[in-house]
């Protein structure tokens, strides 16, 4: 099931997208009437054992809207806490990052022994077609990072590898937009990763049952139609069960928590000279079965 948060007029609503296709047009069904009044995607995920069967059984009977007639927001527009991110989780990206001059960790091209974890502020989240603010006064080295994002369903602490997928509610796409000069100059990643609108997300929150084998999914990123990144999820150094076990060893994961699992090679700093984003550039990130982000860098 592909769930969306969308807006018509001033109201945001929960919908199910592509539950059916009418005469070749992708559609969305507003499922608000099937849900408790006023709840958002976080609450839907939290109560999924109760609400999931209702949506599966009753959504098809609801009227449709063309999907392109509504404004899609990030599936979880306001996460309850920062997006958890993983650095250096694809081998070729480690190499390009280490050689770029922007890696201040001192490890350069060595493979990490354990996952490298950081976060993006909740206020960085924006929609799948929203404009990305360039923040010209703060950065001149804007970069892209297409990533698979895991959505936690059932929370918990001390989750084992064997239990990990039982705690995955679903998946979405994020673009971990990064101000490389801030990342380098401050010698940490929070600030360079967290500027407002620098976490496009969506278009869907896809339930885990729709994804037969998450490791078979492929990530692709293009800039102005030119392919920059392409890799399979199976190429990650630390897989999803490893990440969940590591995070939950001493931190209680909560329903709706978001884990961006790392980016493959092909980012802007991987080129010589680097190919940073400019106002007007269109960055698109797609993942098999999860849809496509399509975000343009704004003028200001």
The pLDDT, as a whole number, for residue 191 is 97
Does the structure show a pLDDT above 70 at 23?
no
Mean pLDDT, range 97-126, rounded to an integer: 84
Mean pLDDT, range 194-218, rounded to an integer: 98
The pLDDT, as a whole number, for residue 97 is 81
The pLDDT, as a whole number, for residue 110 is 77
pLDDT digits (tens, 9 = 90+) for 61-78: 999 999 999 999 999 999
The pLDDT, as a whole number, for residue 62 is 96
pLDDT digits (tens, 9 = 90+) for 163-193: 999 999 999 999 999 999 999 999 889 999 9
Confidence category of residue 155, pLDDT binned at 50, 70, 90? very high
The pLDDT, as a whole number, for residue 105 is 64
Where exactly are the structural domains of the chain? 2-73, 83-296
CATH architecture of the domain formed by 83-296: Alpha-Beta Complex (3.90)
Mean pLDDT, range 127-143, rounded to an integer: 98
DSSP string for the chain: -EEEEEEETTEEEEEEEEEEEETTEEEEEE-GGGS-TT--HHHHHHTHHHHHHHHHHHGGGS--EEGGGSEEE-SSSS-SSPEEEEES-BHHHHHHHHHHT---SS-TTSPPSS-EEEEE-GGGEE-TTPPBP--TTT-S-EE--EEEEEEE-S-BSS--TTTGGGGEEEEEEEE--EEHHHHHHTTSSHHHH-STT-EEEEEEEEEGGG-S-GGG-EEEEEETTEEEEEEEGGGBSS-HHHHHHHHHTTS-B-TT-EEE----S--GGGSSS---B-TT-EEEEEETTTEEEEEEBP--
């Amino acid at each position: 099931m592909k769930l969306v948060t969308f807006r018509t007029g001033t109201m945001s609503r929960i919908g199910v997208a592509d539950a059916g296709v009418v005469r070749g047009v992708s559609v969305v069904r507003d499922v608000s009437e099937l849900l408790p009044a006023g709840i958002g995607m976080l609450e839907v995920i939290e109560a999924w054992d109760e609400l999931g069967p209702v949506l599966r059984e009753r959504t098809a009977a609801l009227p449709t809207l063309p999907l392109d007639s509504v404004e899609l927001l990030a599936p979880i527009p306001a996460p309850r806490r920062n997006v958890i991110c993983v650095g250096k989780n694809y081998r070729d990206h480690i190499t390009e990052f280490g050689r770029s001059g922007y890696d201040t960790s001192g490890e350069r091209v060595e493979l990490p022994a354990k996952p490298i974890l950081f976060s993006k502020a909740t206020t960085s989240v924006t929609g799948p077609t929203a404009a990305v603010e360039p923040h010209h006064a703060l950065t001149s080295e804007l970069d892209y990072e297409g990533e698979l994002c895991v959505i936690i369903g059932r929370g918990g602490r001390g989750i084992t590898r064997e239990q990990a997928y039982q705690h995955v509610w679903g998946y979405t796409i994020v673009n971990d937009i990064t101000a490389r000069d801030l990342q380098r100059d401050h010698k940490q990643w929070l600030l360079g990763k967290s500027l407002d609108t620098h976490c496009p997300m969506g278009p869907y929150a896809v339930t885990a049952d729709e994804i037969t084998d998450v490791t078979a999914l492929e990530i692709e990123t293009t800039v102005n139609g030119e392919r920059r990144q392409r890799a399979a999820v199976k190429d990650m150094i630390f897989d999803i069960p490893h990440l969940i076990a590591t995070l939950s060893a001493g931190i209680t994961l909560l329903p709706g928590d978001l884990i961006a699992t790392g980016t493959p090679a092909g980012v802007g700093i991987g080129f010589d000279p680097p190919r940073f984003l400019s106002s007007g550039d269109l960055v698109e990130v797609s993942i098999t079965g999860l849809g496509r982000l399509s975000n343009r860098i704004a003028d200001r």
